[in-house]
Chain A
Amino acid sequence: SQWGEENLQALSIQEGEDVTMNCSYKTYTTVVHWYRQDSGRGPALIILIRSNEREKRSGRLRATLDTSSQSSSLSITAAQCEDTAVYFCATEGTQVVGQLTFGSGTRLQVYA
């Protein structure tokens, strides 16, 4: 699971496998963003889930959110080599509109 000052986690899987990345956050939020960062680039939003959704799907991506346990997950079905990237979760602050707090990230390597 990723958060803040903790070191980046690493996962390595083969093409075609399913993978789940977890995120435990420390402060209350109603929205979790999942960003993907390719090498040498800035992060880009891939999926956003709100507290009233519990589960959100986008193509091969599936995000879940459990506000009672303050955790979220991102799953990728049938991973492809092009899914290789660092994945971050980010939570919206309740005091400052629009401000995000990012987790430490999970580095996913998908091998052919």
Chain B
Amino acid sequence: GGIITQTPKFLIGQEGQKLTLKCQQNFNHDTMYWYRQDSGKGLRLIYYSITENDLQKGDLSEGYDASREKKSSFSLTVTSAQKNEMAVFLCASSMGTGGAYAEQFFGPGTRLTVL
């Protein structure tokens, strides 16, 4: 089996600050994802990447940048933190080819607090 690691587990920043969240997976999966989960809501897709150096915007990409430096890692940057985006950010990976291969494996999340 594999594992997805997200760092940091808790991230506290000031309003307007640029903040970076990191994700590593050892499944050797091609596709990686970043989701935002607001309290009491479902998951919303921010960015995804189907291979190294590929980036695709999700529905919630405004205010975020992403970077797929290598197959195993995917970073998310909050370009200017706002108080209304305090949430849990979840990273996931999948083989990415549909059906059973679309199963996504999730990390434990990074909880963002903006002061």
Contacts and interface: CB of A to CB of B under 8 A. Distances in A.
Binding between chains A and B: yes
Interface of A: 2-8, 31, 33, 40-45, 48, 50, 88, 92, 96-105
Interface stretch (B11-19, B39-47, B63-71, B79-87): B39-47
Nearest to A43: B106
B24 interface: no
Contact of B96 (A5, A40, A97): A97
Given A42-B92, A50-B99, A92-B98, A100 B104 contact: yes
24 contacts: A3-B42, A5-B42, A8-B41, A31-B99, A31-B102, A33-B103, A40-B108, A41-B106, A41-B109, A42-B92, A43-B43, A44-B105, A45-B104, A48-B103, A98-B95, A98-B96, A98-B102, A99-B102, A100-B102, A101-B45, A102-B42, A102-B43, A102-B44, A103-B42
Interface residues of B, number: 30
B48 A7 contact: no
A3 B44 CA distance: 11
Interface of B: 4, 31, 35, 40-45, 48, 50, 56, 90, 92, 94-109
Contacts of B101: 98
Contacts of A7: 40-41
A97 B98 contact: yes
Contacts, number: 73
Given A33-B102, A88-B42, A104-B41, A98 B97 contact: yes
A105 B31 CA distance: 24
A105 B109 contact: no
Most buried by B among A3, A4, A7, A42: A42
B42 A98 contact: no
Given A97-B96, A97-B98, A98-B94, A45 B103 contact: yes
Given A41-B108, A43-B106, A99-B48, A48 B42 contact: no
Contacts of B109: 40-42
